[in-house]
A and B are shown apart, each in its own frame.
Chain A
Amino acid sequence: MRSEPKIAIQGVSRSFGAVAALARVDIAIAPGEFVCIVGPSGCGKTTLLRILAGLETPSTGQVAITREDSARPLNTMIFQESSIFPWMTVRQNVGYGLRLRGIRAAEIAERIAPLLELTGLARFADAFPYQLSGGMKQRVSVARAFANDPELLLMDEPFAALDEQNKALLQEELLRLWSATRKTVVFITHSIDEALVLGDRVLVMSARPGRIKADIDVPFPRPRSVVELKQDPDYVRLNHDIWLLLRDEVRPAA
């Protein structure tokens, strides 16, 4: 089924001095797949994503990413912490990737208008980040990444700092955007619920040095209704299984 992976991670490890952050990670991700990675804090999730983003190099092993369209950027990362530029307006932030590629201002405006609309940012297009709430800033990050229109979207706990309502709203927006564009997504989270609501597949990582401990298919059909999904007995069982896997990792070794 997964004959030609979009991303093939083979034997990737990474150490920082004496600290081994990642230990021999092997993952194959199919084109258009939405993969969620859960793992205890400090297990190397961010490091793995930064390697995929080209911001960090592996100590051993290799990553092969298949590029389909040389006119589009390969990947765009959404960072864990707030990463929108304080010195740019919402509009300038969202259009930033396009501007770097030398696209004309009129075309940028045209391309980001529907995204600003979809993420509820249109009214704040000319505001500076200090005038926005945390949820809105995160929307700007998401909109900036989608505006850049990469083949591969790398998301590092993008909604972790948000309250439940904003989180649910942004998850739905993300699914809507994703189903319209069918990008390959690698989404890191520490929330099992979030992983099951969003992903086609959930990878569970071990404590540091991180390995892939389990690879779980999420069988629920799309489009998913978050409220109903949480009643589904399969959902409850999967959630519990993953929770047990994670608990073993968080507990100090017996």
Chain B
Amino acid sequence: MSDKPPQIVLIRPAPAEAALHLSPALLAVASPILLLLGWEAVVRLEWLDSRFFPAPSDVLVALWQMLLAGVLLEHSFWTVQRVLIGFVLGAVPGALLGLVMGLSPWIRAFLKPAIAAVYPIPKVALLPLIMMIFGLGEPSKWVIVGIAVFFQLLLSTLAGVLNIDRIYLDVARNLNATRLQAYASVALPGALPTIFAGCQLGLGMALIVVVIAENFGTSAGLGYLVWRSWQVFEVTDMYVGLMMIALLGYLFQLAMGWLERRLLRWKPAATAMKGTP
């Protein structure tokens, strides 16, 4: 036996409750602002070459002027339009085929090798071919975005359906659900969380692809703005384009997160929070 007196173990409220509340939203805003401040400082101190890295304040001034002139909104409008049209064109058939492949082992076995072979091709490598087929105009941009989104949604939806606990399909079968009813009441809602994850990735992919496609056959769009600025060495304008693209990506994420929270009310809050940007 030891001579030491017995110790008392205290269990009390977590100190965090009393401490200052740092909201995640505040932290999320802090990192871009710190980045911009650091960047500004480094350029002002001439540690960075302002020909390649103009100060954020200069970029913001240029952005403001382009906004007032209306060109920035016009470029953004075209990019958003192409992304949205291409997204719908690719996401709807991608998700539908993913559902069908998820529920039908036959169709899955038949199509999976072909998809596995095509999927790793970088989608932008198809752009020349698509412009040959669809011309330089709008349709080729919708198609290339659509293809990129299609594969993302197909694979996400398929993974989502395959992940659904078998028991739910047994319930539907035991209650004599038709195939269509099983799709609508089990496969689609069960895969929806993964479908949303696929939509987030797909939108990111759509932005990448559209910016590259806007190098060709158009004089509107944020991608066009970036490429033209490159040709005429207007570095500040290029940064304006980059900033707008980043902002668009962020807004898309916000919109998706909002939609997800509305449609996935059945998920416990802890899981749903992962979707919050």
Contact = CB atoms under 8 A, between A and B. Distances in A.
Interface of A: 53-55, 73, 75-77, 79, 81, 83, 85-89, 96-97, 99-101, 128-130, 148
Given A76-B174, A96-B175, A83 B168 contact: yes
Interface stretch (B239-247, B250-258, B262-270): B262-270
B175 A85 contact: no
17 contacts: A55-B174, A77-B170, A79-B171, A85-B171, A85-B185, A86-B266, A87-B266, A89-B266, A97-B175, A99-B185, A100-B172, A100-B175, A100-B176, A100-B177, A100-B178, A129-B266, A130-B267
SS class, residues of chain B in contact with chain A: helix
Nearest to B263: A87
A143 to B, nearest CB: 14
Given A87-B190, A96-B185, A81 B167 contact: yes
Interface residues of B, number: 21
Contact of A87 (B171, B192, B268): B192
A53 B167 CA distance: 13
Contacts of B172: 100
B173 interface: yes
Contacts of B128: none
A148 B175 contact: yes
Given A83-B167, A83-B168, A75 B190 contact: no
B65 interface: no
Contact of A79 (B170, B185, B267): B170
Contacts of B197: none
B186 interface: yes
Contacts of B177: 100
Contacts of A99: 185
Contacts of A75: 174
B275 to A, nearest CB: 15
Contacts of B192: 87
A85 B189 contact: yes
B273 to A, nearest CB: 14
Nearest to A81: B167
Contacts of A83: 167-168, 170-171
A79 B167 contact: yes
B175 A55 contact: no
Interface string B189-221: 110100000000000000000000000000000
